[in-house]
Structure formats: structure tokens, C-alpha cells
Homo-oligomer: A and B are copies of this chain.
């Protein structure tokens, strides 16, 4: 159950703030060089999400270390 409790963060896990939210995480572990298509693919995935959803608010964060890139999007739906 901790997986569910944590995926949207601890702050708003109470049922009283339930709302439609979407979390998209794209993590890429690189064996060697960056894949040339990665940025295009991310952009196209975001286009699909924008096409389907009515976005009220969106938070995007990126993190990188030596061989892992992570893109995290939290989308509050209308």
C-alpha cells in the first residue's frame, strides 16, 4: 500500500482532497550515450496527454544523475 500512498506525494493523500490527477513518470537508464530520439519521444507523449486531457495545472520536474534521466509530470485535471 505504500506505493499507492506515495505516488502522488504524502501531502494530499487524504480522501477529502481527492480529485482527478495524472502522474506520468518517464525514466531512462542509459547504457552509453543519450538516445537521439528521447526528447522527440517525450514531446510527443506530452502532445498525446494534452490532446486527451483538460489540464487545470501542471508541474514538471526533471532529474538526472550519471546514467538515469527522469521526467515527472503531475497534471491536475479539470
Residues of A within 8 A of B (CB): 1, 3-4, 7-8, 15, 18-32, 35, 37, 40-41, 44-45, 48-49, 52-53, 63, 65, 67-68, 70, 77
Contact = CB atoms under 8 A, between A and B. Distances in A.
Greatest chain B CB density within 10 A among A4, A44, A53 is at A4
Contact of A63 (B3, B22, B40): B3
A63 B4 CA distance: 9
Contact of A44 (B41, B48, B63, B65): B48
Contacts of A77: 35
B26 A21 contact: no
A30 B17 CA distance: 11
A49 B19 CA distance: 28
Contact of A21 (B4, B29, B37): B29
